[in-house]
Amino acid sequence: MTGAPTRTVVEPPAEKGNEPTVSMSHALPPAPRVGLRTLSWGAALVVVLLLAALAPANVISDFQFFQLNRVITFAIAIGGLNLLLGWAGTISAGHGALFGIGAYTTAILVADHGVPWPIAALASLVVGLVVGALLGLPALRLGGMNLGLITLAIAMLLPPLLTRLDWLTGGPFGKTTPRVEAPEGLPFSSPQWLFLVNLVVLAVVFWLLANMLRGRMGRALDAAASSRVMAAAHAIPTNRITVAVFAVSAAVAALAGALFHLSTRTSTPDSFTFLLSISLIAGAVVGGSRSFVGAIIGAAFVVFVPESLGEFVEPAAAGQWQQVVYAAALLLVIYFFPRGLAGLVRQARNRLVRRRSIHARPQEAQS
Amino acid sequence: MTELWQQILSGLGSGFIYASLALAICLVFQGTGAVNFAQGVMATASAYVAWTLVTRGMPFWLAFVLALVASFIVGALIERVFIRPVEGSSPLVMLTVTVALLIGLQAVVALIWGDDPQQLESPFGGGSVEVLGARLTAQQLGAAAVVLVTLLLAGAFFRFTTLGLRMRAAAQNPASARLLSIDVGRMLALGWGLAATVGAVAGVIFAPTLGVSPAMMDSSLLLALAAATLGGFESRVGAVVGGLVLGVAANLASRYVPGIGSDLQLVVPFAVIFLVLLLRPQGLFGRASSVRA
């Protein structure tokens, strides 16, 4: 599944509305460029990582690390959701529930069975994959958007189900696990250590997803999203890839949920309500559903906007104002920046770059 | 036997809520191609309007009519303001907009009227009637009758009036409709208004049983979406029948299937959908269509 050769073969004559990820290959030979970019991003990440993690507690407090951990875990989940929204052209209103299933899997394994947390997190990933495939299979019958209706059902059903199955899930009080400590000898507090772990997972997951989407899979998905019939006529197994992508997306969400639980340490049924699923969709749309940078922007939006609202309105109404802000942000982004904030950033950057470059990019002039 | 009969009848009673919401969802879907997740909360807002008027001393039926009129106007306005800018976009965009409307409207309702559930007095009094051995409250019977009349009126409207036919034409083939000098934009706004009204009938008339609260329509919305899927989104009759079937099925399951109970009642519609779609992917009343690229 290497990206470079397929790209030159499969790429259609540049069409209107093609995404910049596609048009990027016009400027320079793609392969070395992608490698360089990945490397430089990786290097930058490592530097930031070390700087941040070594910062003394008075620069970045443990609470702020805790917040950052929430941002990163949400970003991972939103990245997974982007596979559906941005590439597969379908929607999941139940990613909050899949996130919750991941969190509970880890919580139960660690709390009741003494499984080490990394293995528990991997188990969450597998559970997510299986649940995703099981949901995806019958939903195929319904085609595209109707998948959303089925996923809506698990979003609504999970909290009462978690409350009901108290022998497994601890009922309304949920499950609490001990704090995750850094290995002996490393000078990190628990949130700092988890921050490092989460960042590495984020980088690895996004790198894998981006590679998957750059290759045959991404092409096939783009084709299927623009016309299922045409894609099928070109021997793309549209049904199979939809289920596969849904399963992968669910697995990523469950993994993110597992990491989320490791940070918060307590999972209760009302941590994973329908509003969480909505928040993830809001994050994906606001950030830009075809961008992994967008996933991070969207996650920051989801974590920090409600928080900063809490300072302006009375606490009783904070949840409602949060909903109003989500709604307004969603509508504004849909109307004015259909590619999300990441699209906005990219546009601005392209404008800057174009001034210095002779490689004018005709596609992006149209967007 | 009497108990079974009783359960079926009260299931039909709540089935009428789902049926009318499902019909509203169908109307919107046929017109603008949007699955309107905000349909339930729009009905909730109507119920609150009626409740406010009644607590200010207005007679129920006047408040009922005023709430319907208000819902019609608000529904049409929502189409004009929020849906028009994205008309003809992908279903995903449409869905995002209606989800945004859902969370926004729900919050606005809670901000205006508060979270506490309110009571609305039943216009049919507290009596009860015996139907073939089953006991139904006057409220159950009256509400079902009102919804039934609404559904019949809506059906007649789309079949026998010029306006109704125009709306169907605009929904089915906007380009040809435009050539016949039908103002498609106005028809779509009317469609949303009409859908909001149908939803409002259910919201207001069932408010005495459901209680008036921001979340009163949440589970009904889910069942209505399920009903519309079951009947096929293109079929108005299908949506109504789907709603009634699901109402009965959910009620029977929560009574007779061990381990379901009222909190997990939502399992039922989706189980029914799975079963139906395995056999008839286009829904009970939908038509199988071939697709051309």
Answer whether B227's CB lies under 8 Å from B19's CB.
Answer: yes
Best mutation target, B95, B96, B217, B289, to test chain A (most A CBs within 10 A): B96
Per residue in B49-72, pLDDT (tens digit) is: 999 999 998 899 999 999 999 999
B117 in contact with A, Cβ within 8 Å: no
B250-258, long-range: CB < 8 A, 24+ apart:
B250/B11, B250/B14, B250/B223, B251/B7, B251/B8, B251/B10, B251/B11, B251/B14, B252/B4, B252/B7, B252/B8, B252/B11, B255/B7, B256/B7
- Confidence (pTM): 0.81
Residue A38: per-residue pLDDT: 63
Determine how many CB atoms are found less than 10 A away from the CB of residue A345: 17
B108 in contact with A, Cβ within 8 Å: yes
Per residue in B150-197, pLDDT (tens digit) is: 989 988 998 899 998 988 888 888 888 889 888 888 898 999 999 999
Please report, as a single letter, which amino acid is at residue A243: V
Confidence tier at A36 by pLDDT (50, 70, 90)? low
Answer whether B83's CB lies under 8 Å from B97's CB.
Answer: yes
Taking CA atoms, A74 is separated from A313, A341, B140, B218, in Å, by 25, 17, 45, 26
The torsion angles phi and psi of B89, rounded to 5 degrees, stand at -80, 180
A332 in contact with B, Cβ within 8 Å: no
**Are A145 and B35 inside 8 Å of each other by CB?**
yes
> Above pLDDT 90, what percent of chain B?
33
Q: How far apart are CA B211 and CA B47, in angstroms?
A: 9
pLDDT at A55 over 70: no
Per residue in B238-263, pLDDT (tens digit) is: 888 989 988 998 888 887 877 776 67
Please report, as a single letter, which amino acid is at residue A302: V
How remote is the C-alpha of B244 from its chain's centroid?
12
Among B158, B147, B174, B145, which residue's Cα sits nearest to residue B26? Answer: B158
Size of interface A-B (CB pairs under 8 A): 107
Q: List the structure tokens of A320.
A: 């409602």
Confidence tier at A58 by pLDDT (50, 70, 90)? low
Which of B86, B111, B278 lies at the smallest CB-CB distance from A317? Answer: B111
* Vertex A332: Cα angle to A345 and B190 (nearest 5): 150
Q: List the structure tokens of A37.
A: 């970019």
Question: Which residues of chain A make contact with B35, given a CB cutoff of 8 A?
Answer: 145, 148-149
- Find where tokens 């949400």 sit: A74
Which of A91, A141, A156 lies at the smallest CB-CB distance from B266? Answer: A156
Q: How far apart are CA A317 and CA A84, in angstroms?
A: 33
Q: HSE-up of B171 (CA within 13 Å, CB side)?
A: 24
Confidence tier at A250 by pLDDT (50, 70, 90)? very high
Q: What is the mean pLDDT of residues B39-57?
A: 93
**Are B291 and A148 inside 8 Å of each other by CB?**
no
Residues 135-164 of chain A with CB under 8 A from chain B are: 138, 141-146, 148-150, 152-153, 156-157, 160-161, 163-164
Among B97, B273, B180, B60, which residue's Cα sits nearest to residue A285? Answer: B97
Instruction: Provide the 3-class DSSP secondary structure of residue B137.
Output: strand
- Whether the predicted interface score ipTM is above 0.90: no
Residues 6 or more apart whose Cβ sits within 8 Å of residue A247: A129, A130, A132, A133, A136
Determine how many CB atoms are found less than 10 A away from the CB of residue A336: 9
Helix residue ranges, H only, B161-266: 162-172, 174-179, 184-205, 207-210, 218-231, 236-256
* Vertex A253: Cα angle to A70 and A331 (nearest 5): 75
The torsion angles phi and psi of B71, rounded to 5 degrees, stand at -65, -40
Axis-axis angle for helices A340-356, A274-287 (nearest 10): 10
Taking CA atoms, A114 is separated from A110, A111, A172, A178, in Å, by 5, 6, 22, 10
Residues 188-207 of chain B with CB under 8 A from chain A are: none
Domain ranges of chain B: 2-214
Q: Which residue spans within chain B are E strands per DSSP?
A: 128-131, 134-137
Q: How long a stretch of residues is chain B? A: 293
Instruction: Provide the 3-class DSSP secondary structure of residue B129.
Output: strand
How remote is the C-alpha of A291 from its chain's centroid?
10
**Are B264 and A138 inside 8 Å of each other by CB?**
no
**Are A138 and B274 inside 8 Å of each other by CB?**
yes
The single-letter DSSP state of residue A215 is S
Q: How far apart are CA B271 and CA B269, in angstroms?
A: 5
Instruction: Provide the 3-class DSSP secondary structure of residue B267.
Output: helix
How remote is the C-alpha of B287 from its chain's centroid?
22
pLDDT at B137 over 90: no
Determine how many CB atoms are found less than 10 A away from the CB of residue A134: 14
The torsion angles phi and psi of B175, rounded to 5 degrees, stand at -65, -50
